[in-house]
Chain A
Protein backbone atom coordinates (compact mmCIF):
# COMPACT_ATOMS: atom_id res chain seq x y z
CA UNK A 1 0.00 0.00 0.00
CA UNK A 2 1.12 3.52 -0.70
CA UNK A 3 2.15 5.76 2.16
CA UNK A 4 3.87 9.06 2.82
CA UNK A 5 5.92 10.22 5.75
CA UNK A 6 6.49 13.86 6.52
CA UNK A 7 9.52 14.42 8.66
CA UNK A 8 8.88 17.04 11.29
CA UNK A 9 5.42 18.02 12.42
CA UNK A 10 6.58 21.59 13.05
CA UNK A 11 9.15 23.63 11.16
CA UNK A 12 10.11 27.16 12.13
CA UNK A 13 12.06 29.52 9.88
CA UNK A 14 12.83 33.21 9.85
CA UNK A 15 11.33 35.45 7.22
CA UNK A 16 13.59 35.41 4.17
CA UNK A 17 15.14 32.05 5.03
CA UNK A 18 14.98 28.85 3.02
CA UNK A 19 11.94 26.68 3.55
CA UNK A 20 12.47 22.91 3.38
CA UNK A 21 9.64 20.52 4.17
CA UNK A 22 10.45 16.85 3.87
CA UNK A 23 8.34 14.09 2.41
CA UNK A 24 9.21 10.48 1.72
CA UNK A 25 6.90 8.09 -0.04
CA UNK A 26 6.50 4.38 -0.18
CA UNK A 27 5.21 3.08 -3.46
CA UNK A 28 5.67 -0.07 -5.46
CA UNK A 29 5.04 1.76 -8.73
CA UNK A 30 5.95 5.27 -9.89
CA UNK A 31 3.46 7.42 -8.03
CA UNK A 32 1.79 10.73 -8.53
CA UNK A 33 2.87 13.06 -5.72
CA UNK A 34 1.31 16.24 -4.42
CA UNK A 35 1.84 19.06 -1.98
CA UNK A 36 -1.19 20.82 -0.54
CA UNK A 37 -1.36 23.83 1.77
CA UNK A 38 -4.04 24.47 4.37
CA UNK A 39 -4.48 27.93 5.85
CA UNK A 40 -6.39 28.27 9.12
CA UNK A 41 -10.11 27.57 8.78
CA UNK A 42 -9.77 26.84 5.09
CA UNK A 43 -9.73 23.85 2.80
CA UNK A 44 -6.69 22.42 1.09
CA UNK A 45 -5.14 24.13 -1.90
CA UNK A 46 -2.87 22.37 -4.39
CA UNK A 47 0.65 23.81 -4.44
CA UNK A 48 2.14 21.46 -7.02
CA UNK A 49 2.05 17.92 -8.32
CA UNK A 50 4.38 15.39 -9.92
CA UNK A 51 2.90 13.13 -12.56
CA UNK A 52 6.04 11.54 -14.09
CA UNK A 53 7.05 14.43 -16.32
CA UNK A 54 9.87 16.72 -15.16
CA UNK A 55 11.38 15.72 -11.83
CA UNK A 56 11.63 19.34 -10.69
CA UNK A 57 8.14 20.67 -10.29
CA UNK A 58 7.34 24.33 -9.87
CA UNK A 59 4.19 25.34 -8.07
CA UNK A 60 2.36 28.40 -6.92
CA UNK A 61 3.66 31.04 -4.51
CA UNK A 62 7.31 30.31 -5.35
CA UNK A 63 7.33 26.73 -4.10
CA UNK A 64 8.98 23.86 -5.91
CA UNK A 65 9.65 20.20 -5.24
CA UNK A 66 12.03 17.63 -6.66
CA UNK A 67 11.12 14.02 -7.24
CA UNK A 68 14.06 11.77 -6.35
CA UNK A 69 13.29 8.16 -7.07
CA UNK A 70 16.58 6.89 -5.59
CA UNK A 71 15.72 8.53 -2.28
CA UNK A 72 11.93 8.03 -2.54
CA UNK A 73 11.60 11.68 -1.63
CA UNK A 74 9.57 14.67 -2.75
CA UNK A 75 10.75 17.54 -0.56
CA UNK A 76 9.14 20.97 -0.83
CA UNK A 77 11.31 24.07 -0.94
CA UNK A 78 11.03 27.81 -1.22
CA UNK A 79 14.13 30.02 -1.37
CA UNK A 80 12.79 32.82 0.80
CA UNK A 81 10.01 32.45 3.35
CA UNK A 82 7.30 35.05 3.65
CA UNK A 83 5.06 35.62 6.64
CA UNK A 84 2.08 34.62 4.51
CA UNK A 85 3.59 31.12 4.05
CA UNK A 86 2.69 30.21 7.62
CA UNK A 87 0.25 27.32 7.25
CA UNK A 88 0.02 23.55 7.38
CA UNK A 89 1.49 21.62 4.49
CA UNK A 90 0.50 18.14 3.41
CA UNK A 91 2.33 15.76 1.15
CA UNK A 92 0.13 13.20 -0.62
CA UNK A 93 0.52 10.23 -2.94
CA UNK A 94 -2.01 8.79 -5.34
CA UNK A 95 -3.30 5.37 -4.42
CA UNK A 96 -3.22 3.98 -7.94
CA UNK A 97 -3.90 5.11 -11.47
CA UNK A 98 -7.57 4.20 -11.54
CA UNK A 99 -9.01 6.47 -8.89
CA UNK A 100 -8.49 9.91 -7.44
CA UNK A 101 -7.88 8.62 -3.94
CA UNK A 102 -5.04 10.45 -2.21
CA UNK A 103 -3.09 9.25 0.80
CA UNK A 104 -1.91 12.14 2.92
CA UNK A 105 0.98 12.53 5.29
CA UNK A 106 0.44 13.78 8.80
CA UNK A 107 1.19 17.35 7.86
CA UNK A 108 3.88 19.88 8.75
CA UNK A 109 3.05 23.19 10.36
CA UNK A 110 5.28 25.94 9.06
CA UNK A 111 5.92 28.88 11.36
CA UNK A 112 7.57 31.98 9.92
CA UNK A 113 9.21 34.31 12.41
CA UNK A 114 9.71 37.99 11.66
Chain B
Protein backbone atom coordinates (compact mmCIF):
# COMPACT_ATOMS: atom_id res chain seq x y z
CA UNK B 1 0.00 0.00 0.00
CA UNK B 2 1.59 3.24 -1.19
CA UNK B 3 -0.53 5.44 1.05
CA UNK B 4 -2.05 7.27 -1.92
CA UNK B 5 -5.79 6.72 -2.15
CA UNK B 6 -7.75 7.14 -5.34
CA UNK B 7 -11.50 6.97 -5.68
CA UNK B 8 -13.39 5.54 -7.39
CA UNK B 9 -11.44 2.52 -8.58
CA UNK B 10 -13.66 2.03 -11.60
CA UNK B 11 -15.93 4.41 -13.45
CA UNK B 12 -18.13 3.76 -16.46
CA UNK B 13 -19.82 6.71 -18.06
CA UNK B 14 -21.26 7.84 -21.37
CA UNK B 15 -19.79 10.14 -23.97
CA UNK B 16 -20.42 13.79 -23.29
CA UNK B 17 -20.59 13.34 -19.54
CA UNK B 18 -18.41 14.85 -16.80
CA UNK B 19 -16.64 12.94 -14.06
CA UNK B 20 -14.47 13.79 -11.07
CA UNK B 21 -11.59 11.64 -9.91
CA UNK B 22 -10.33 12.09 -6.38
CA UNK B 23 -6.90 11.61 -4.86
CA UNK B 24 -5.74 11.70 -1.26
CA UNK B 25 -1.96 11.96 -1.05
CA UNK B 26 0.26 10.34 1.55
CA UNK B 27 0.31 12.11 4.86
CA UNK B 28 2.84 14.93 4.71
CA UNK B 29 3.20 14.97 0.92
CA UNK B 30 2.76 18.39 -0.63
CA UNK B 31 2.97 17.48 -4.31
CA UNK B 32 0.23 15.71 -6.22
CA UNK B 33 0.60 14.48 -9.79
CA UNK B 34 -1.89 13.15 -12.29
CA UNK B 35 -0.94 10.74 -15.06
CA UNK B 36 -2.98 9.08 -17.79
CA UNK B 37 -2.14 5.55 -18.93
CA UNK B 38 -3.62 4.29 -22.18
CA UNK B 39 -2.65 1.57 -24.61
CA UNK B 40 -1.84 3.94 -27.45
CA UNK B 41 -0.25 6.82 -25.54
CA UNK B 42 1.41 4.99 -22.67
CA UNK B 43 1.96 6.87 -19.42
CA UNK B 44 1.49 10.59 -19.93
CA UNK B 45 2.00 13.32 -17.36
CA UNK B 46 -1.00 15.58 -17.00
CA UNK B 47 -0.36 18.03 -14.19
CA UNK B 48 1.42 18.65 -10.88
CA UNK B 49 0.27 20.67 -7.91
CA UNK B 50 2.49 21.67 -5.03
CA UNK B 51 0.90 22.94 -1.84
CA UNK B 52 -2.16 24.14 -3.66
CA UNK B 53 -0.43 25.79 -6.60
CA UNK B 54 -0.07 24.46 -10.13
CA UNK B 55 3.58 23.56 -10.62
CA UNK B 56 3.84 21.85 -13.97
CA UNK B 57 1.53 21.09 -16.83
CA UNK B 58 1.74 18.38 -19.48
CA UNK B 59 -0.41 17.72 -22.50
CA UNK B 60 -3.62 18.06 -20.53
CA UNK B 61 -6.68 18.67 -22.66
CA UNK B 62 -8.70 21.83 -22.17
CA UNK B 63 -11.65 19.61 -21.28
CA UNK B 64 -9.67 18.41 -18.26
CA UNK B 65 -8.97 20.44 -15.16
CA UNK B 66 -7.53 19.77 -11.75
CA UNK B 67 -7.11 21.43 -8.42
CA UNK B 68 -5.51 20.80 -5.06
CA UNK B 69 -7.45 21.80 -1.99
CA UNK B 70 -6.18 23.25 1.30
CA UNK B 71 -6.23 19.79 2.88
CA UNK B 72 -3.95 18.74 -0.03
CA UNK B 73 -6.32 16.29 -1.64
CA UNK B 74 -6.74 16.73 -5.36
CA UNK B 75 -9.48 16.29 -7.91
CA UNK B 76 -9.22 15.76 -11.65
CA UNK B 77 -12.28 16.84 -13.58
CA UNK B 78 -12.89 15.40 -17.03
CA UNK B 79 -15.72 16.89 -19.09
CA UNK B 80 -17.33 16.34 -22.49
CA UNK B 81 -15.95 12.85 -22.35
CA UNK B 82 -14.98 11.04 -25.52
CA UNK B 83 -14.33 7.37 -26.16
CA UNK B 84 -10.63 8.13 -26.39
CA UNK B 85 -10.58 9.35 -22.81
CA UNK B 86 -10.96 5.77 -21.63
CA UNK B 87 -7.79 5.07 -19.68
CA UNK B 88 -6.27 4.40 -16.31
CA UNK B 89 -5.71 7.63 -14.40
CA UNK B 90 -3.02 7.59 -11.75
CA UNK B 91 -2.43 9.99 -8.96
CA UNK B 92 0.97 10.18 -7.29
CA UNK B 93 2.31 12.22 -4.41
CA UNK B 94 5.69 13.25 -3.07
CA UNK B 95 7.05 15.31 -0.25
CA UNK B 96 8.98 17.78 -2.36
CA UNK B 97 8.44 19.80 -5.46
CA UNK B 98 11.03 18.13 -7.68
CA UNK B 99 11.81 14.58 -8.77
CA UNK B 100 14.58 13.98 -6.23
CA UNK B 101 11.93 12.96 -3.72
CA UNK B 102 10.20 9.69 -4.51
CA UNK B 103 6.75 9.80 -6.03
CA UNK B 104 4.30 7.23 -4.66
CA UNK B 105 1.52 6.11 -6.97
CA UNK B 106 -2.03 5.19 -6.17
CA UNK B 107 -3.73 2.16 -7.71
CA UNK B 108 -5.48 4.27 -10.28
CA UNK B 109 -9.00 4.93 -11.46
CA UNK B 110 -10.02 3.00 -14.54
CA UNK B 111 -12.32 5.16 -16.63
CA UNK B 112 -14.40 3.57 -19.35
CA UNK B 113 -16.33 5.87 -21.66
CA UNK B 114 -19.09 4.13 -23.62
Do chains A and B stick together as partners?
yes
- Residues of B close to A34: CB separation below 8 A: 99
A102 touches B103 (CB 8 A): yes
B2 touches A99 (CB 8 A): no
Q: How far is the CA of A95 from the CA of B58 in the complex (A)?
A: 10
- Residues of A close to B92: CB separation below 8 A: 43-44
**A31 CB to closest chain B CB, in angstroms?**
9
B56 touches A41 (CB 8 A): no
Interface string of A76-114 (1 = CB under 8 A from B): 000000000000001000110111111111110000000
Given contacts A45-B2, A106-B42, A107-B43, contact A100 B94 (CB under 8 A): yes
A101 touches B56 (CB 8 A): yes
Q: How far is the CA of A97 from the CA of B94 in the complex (A)?
A: 15
Given contacts A44-B90, A99-B48, A106-B42, contact A32 B99 (CB under 8 A): yes
Interface SS, A side: loop
- Residues of A close to B35: CB separation below 8 A: 104
A95 touches B42 (CB 8 A): no
A103 touches B107 (CB 8 A): no
Restricting to B52-89, which residues have a CB under 8 Å from any CB of A?
55-56, 58
- Residues of A close to B96: CB separation below 8 A: 100
Q: How far is the CA of A94 from the CA of B100 in the complex (A)?
A: 9
- Residue with the highest number of chain B CB atoms closer than 10 Å, among A36, A42, A95, A100: A100
- Option from A43, A49, A98 in Cβ contact (under 8 Å) with B90: A43
Does B4 have its Cβ within 8 Å of any Cβ on chain A? yes
12 more contacts with CB within 8 A, not counting A43-B105, A43-B106, are: A34-B99, A43-B4, A99-B99, A100-B33, A100-B101, A101-B45, A101-B48, A101-B56, A103-B45, A104-B42, A104-B45, A106-B42
Write the residues of chain A forming the contact surface with B, with a CB cutoff of 8 angstroms.
32, 34, 36, 41-46, 49, 51, 90, 94-95, 97-107
Closest 6 CB pairs of A and B: A43-B105, A99-B56, A94-B99, A104-B43, A44-B105, A101-B56
